[in-house]
Structure 1
Amino acid sequence: MRPPYMRIPYTDVLAAPTIIPRSATALSGALAAVHEFFIAPSLSSSSSGTRPSIAVLTGAGISVASGLADYRGTNGTYRVNKTYRPIYYHEFLHNHEARKRYWARSFLGWTTLHKAKPNATHFAIKHLNDLGLIQSVITQNVDSFHSQAHPSLPTVELHGYLRSCVCTSCQEELPRDDFQNELARLNPTWAAFLQEILASGALDTENPDEQRARGMKTNPDGDVDLPGAQYTQFRYPACPRCLVNPPLTENGTRATVEVDSDGAWAPPSTAGILKPAVVMFGESIKHSVKAAADKVVNDADKLLVLGTSLATYSAWRLAKQAKDQNKPIAIVNLGGVRGEDVFFADLDPSQQGSQGARVEFSTNELLPALVDQLRQYPSVQTAHTTSNYIAETHETSVFKDMLS
């Protein structure tokens, strides 16, 4: 009997990419290839005389320039720290001590979120939409940068978002800022310590050597590792809705939600557990979100993949879905991509990007330059006046991605 399938972070070493077309090894060639990908008619658009509809699939790589730590890049945690293991959904749900540890380390990692901003890639995506060239985005990222940079462009957040916590019992959402304030109230010693390490600048760097010198290590999921830290005393709040009205269990009895004298969740509670509103490892994506992502791919003529190794199956299958529908795919990513040969094996060797492209450049370098090129292209008309992407690029700072 086949053992049950358990989703884990994909940590295999990815093969170096094969650049397509060969001329795309230089920035000028990469721009030409992706430019051709955008303007070439697709099978469906050429028959209808309309402009091709392009969907975008993004990953953590596009937010590195905003200060986010990397996962699988050269200095990514999964490559540098081979022993790193994120928390799994079943652990978080069933283990009070595991939740203490998670929220303590997350409490420290969350504090710099307000400093981080969308970068030039996010605004280039906005401008490509303004030019009528892309219609929708699917993102694996949980940083909400897409919605900040282009709120009018439909975006499916495949793995959820960090801006809220959600109750695992009643599904009520609580703004993460409010939750952070509650963590500080319940844990005054940790709150004071947080102010100390903020003053020391220990959270202002992603350099592993500098972090170790300051007595800590930050993983890309916002997990601040403090050697010797005592997590057992850390407290976290219960869901306020479940506290007032405990939900019914599957057998029809009323669940138990108890708190200590300060309002912290306490055993033997059986409900009211708040978690980050993201999809943890071992947790399923909501059917409605999966269906929305499928529709984006199905409705598009082409798929542009940005800043992701597609190591997560939920993202890889979307690219494979586009390929199975014979839709051109372009991938812009630094480093290898999981199973990328599947997407380009049957391309005409002489094609220059119209059927697909694979380039290895930073999206922050390539996409703004692409926008400038496309703005000069005769057939591309702006949908409305937009300001220059450089003016919209905000100052960036460190942000801790707490996917798990």
Structure 2
Amino acid sequence: MRISVPGVPQSILASNRSNVPKVSPEEAVYRLTQFLKNGQVTLLTGAGVSVDSGIRAYRGEDGRYMNPDYKPIFYHELVDDSAKGHAFRQRYWLRSYLGYPPVRDAEPNTTHFALAALQHTGFIPNLVTQNVDGLHHKALAKHTGRPSHHLQDHILELHGTLHRVRCKHGHAVDRDTFQTWLSAANPKWRQFADEMEKAGTQPRTNPDGDVAIEHLGISYSDFVVPECPTCSESDRKNSVHKPDLVFFGESIPDQVRDRSFREIENGQKLLVMGTTLATYSAFRLLKHALELKKPVMMLNVGPSRADGLNLEKIDIPSGVVMTDVAKSVVGATACEDPIIIKMLQDGIVKPPATKEDRTPRRAG
């Protein structure tokens, strides 16, 4: 089975970026405000919007997928019932066990809250995100108190979420509970994780909660992946679990794919933010919008799969402009609505350090 990690075409990456027009923050704010001010804009986001929360992008300058030696675990490897599949799961879940807490504890940044303000005021009725970190939900819920089912109605997680786990028979559990199961089954690794946290030596964490730890000389062979307790009640032994997200080599559920197309169709415009659109599941949404003759604007730093298409592109980090954009779009509401005031004053700006280990997963 041949599966590759999707990326931006080399012809685009090799192009001369000096030809991309540079804009000032003031001009970017003006152009984004003009695009958003009439509302009914569907938003498509990627890992770039979470960088200021300390979660690095997949394909940015220091992104894991820009390393040609990196090899993620594919869907068929993770769910394989053989001894080889068991070894893959030990590798995946140990790395995820160590890497999940920083993603779980991450806080929304200024871009997340600016977008939440635009959602709350109706300018962006629906948001489609490729991110699995749940930070859009955190930002929208923090000052509005909106229940989870309401958030799910307005935020579509195209690639799923890290915050839920399912066994191969479909039994779901929240990730914090599963993390507790992993700790109970692996006291040695719990101690190791606690010591890392105290020493401030947390390995480099990626957007999918994965970490690189081979350089530490660690073996995966003694890591225990617990059995599903619901399956055990039916006398079925089953330790095949996966986070509720889409792996490479796995298809997006039909209902998610169909809803993502409806979100594009229901909006008057499409704003694309913080993504190279390397994955086809996102790129085809942009193509669908263009086929429907909808205006499209892209806010992203660096080359993307959309370069050369008929859309307006602004090359500037979202964190530099989005708070001012939200203030400009919502107008007087930014000074009168207590919820919007809190949103536009909130958000961290703590991008990850760049000088960290980039060791790839070893094959085999």
Structure 1 length as normaliser, TM-score? 0.76
Q: How does 1:34-113 map onto structure 2 within 5 Å?
A: 34-39=32-37, 51-79=38-66, 81-94=67-80, 95-113=85-103
Contact 1:164 1:176 in 2 (8 A): yes
Per the alignment, do residues 5 and 99 of structure 1 end up closer, same or farther by CA in structure 2, a change over 3 Å counting?
A: closer
How far residue 75 of structure 1 moved from its aligned partner, in angstroms, is 1.3
Superimposed CA distance per residue, residues 26-76 of structure 1 (whole angstroms, 9 cap, x where no aligned partner):
11221222122223xxxxxxxxxxx44100000000000001022111111
Q: How does 1:383-402 map onto structure 2 within 5 Å?
A: 386-393=340-347
> Percent identity at matched positions?
34
Per the alignment, do residues 382 and 337 of structure 1 end up closer, same or farther by CA in structure 2, a change over 3 Å counting?
A: farther
Provide the C-alpha distance between the structure 2 equivalents of 1:116 and 1:301, rounded to a whole number of angstroms: 32
Look up the match of 2:314.
Answer: 359
Provide the C-alpha distance between the structure 2 equivalents of 1:104 and 1:385, rounded to a whole number of angstroms: 40
Look up the SS of the partner of 1:326 in the other structure: coil
2:126 is equivalent to residue 136 of structure 1: yes
Superimposed CA distance per residue, residues 237-288 of structure 1 (whole angstroms, 9 cap, x where no aligned partner):
1222112126xxxxxxxxxx33xxxxxxxxxxxx552111110110110001
Provide the C-alpha distance between the structure 2 equivalents of 1:114 and 1:83, rounded to a whole number of angstroms: 27
Q: How does 1:4-403 map onto structure 2 within 5 Å?
A: 6=3, 8-10=5-7, 12-13=9-10, 14=13, 15=15, 16=17, 19=20, 25-39=23-37, 51-79=38-66, 81-94=67-80, 95-151=85-141, 152=150, 154-169=154-169, 171-203=170-202, 217-226=204-213, 227=215, 228-245=217-234, 257-258=236-237, 271=238, 273-344=240-311, 357-376=312-331, 386-393=340-347
Which residue identity does 2:293 align to in structure 1? N
Provide the C-alpha distance between the structure 2 equivalents of 1:202 and 1:86, rounded to a whole number of angstroms: 23
Look up the SS of the partner of 2:271 in the other structure: strand
Which residue identity does 1:391 align to in structure 2? Q
Per the alignment, do residues 105 and 5 of structure 1 end up closer, same or farther by CA in structure 2, a change over 3 Å counting?
A: closer
Segment of structure 1 superposing worse, 105-114 or 63-72: 105-114
Provide the C-alpha distance between the structure 2 equivalents of 1:114 and 1:219, rounded to a whole number of angstroms: 12
Look up the SS of the partner of 2:125 in the other structure: strand
Contact 1:115 1:396 in 2 (8 A): no
Per the alignment, do residues 53 and 218 of structure 1 end up closer, same or farther by CA in structure 2, a change over 3 Å counting?
A: closer
Which residue identity does 2:259 align to in structure 1? A
Look up the SS of the partner of 2:310 in the other structure: helix
Contact 1:118 1:396 in 2 (8 A): no
Look up the SS of the partner of 1:367 in the other structure: helix
Provide the C-alpha distance between the structure 2 equivalents of 1:391 and 1:384, rounded to a whole number of angstroms: 11
Per the alignment, do residues 239 and 11 of structure 1 end up closer, same or farther by CA in structure 2, a change over 3 Å counting?
A: farther
Provide the C-alpha distance between the structure 2 equivalents of 1:369 and 1:101, rounded to a whole number of angstroms: 44
Structure 2 length as normaliser, TM-score? 0.84
Look up the SS of the partner of 2:340 in the other structure: coil
Provide the C-alpha distance between the structure 2 equivalents of 1:129 and 1:224, rounded to a whole number of angstroms: 33
Provide the C-alpha distance between the structure 2 equivalents of 1:84 and 1:54, rounded to a whole number of angstroms: 36
Bigger-Rg structure (1/2): 1
Contact 2:8 2:304 in 1 (8 A): no
Contact 2:53 2:107 in 1 (8 A): yes
How far residue 390 of structure 1 moved from its aligned partner, in angstroms, is 4.2
Q: Over aligned residue pairs, what C-alpha RMSD do you find? A: 2.7
Look up the SS of the partner of 1:99 in the other structure: helix
Contact 2:162 2:209 in 1 (8 A): no
Look up the match of 2:146.
Answer: none
Which blocks of at least 5 consecutive residues in structure 1 are unaligned?
A: 40-50, 204-215, 247-256, 259-270, 345-356
May I ask how many residue pairs the two structures share in their alignment?
A: 334
Structure with bigger helix share is: 2
Segment of structure 1 superposing worse, 273-282 or 150-159: 150-159
Per the alignment, do residues 97 and 177 of structure 1 end up closer, same or farther by CA in structure 2, a change over 3 Å counting?
A: same
Provide the C-alpha distance between the structure 2 equivalents of 1:77 and 1:66, rounded to a whole number of angstroms: 17
Which blocks of at least 5 consecutive residues in structure 2 are unaligned?
A: 142-149, 354-360
Per the alignment, do residues 377 and 320 of structure 1 end up closer, same or farther by CA in structure 2, a change over 3 Å counting?
A: farther
Contact 1:60 1:140 in 2 (8 A): yes
Per the alignment, do residues 144 and 196 of structure 1 end up closer, same or farther by CA in structure 2, a change over 3 Å counting?
A: same
Provide the C-alpha distance between the structure 2 equivalents of 1:18 and 1:281, rounded to a whole number of angstroms: 33
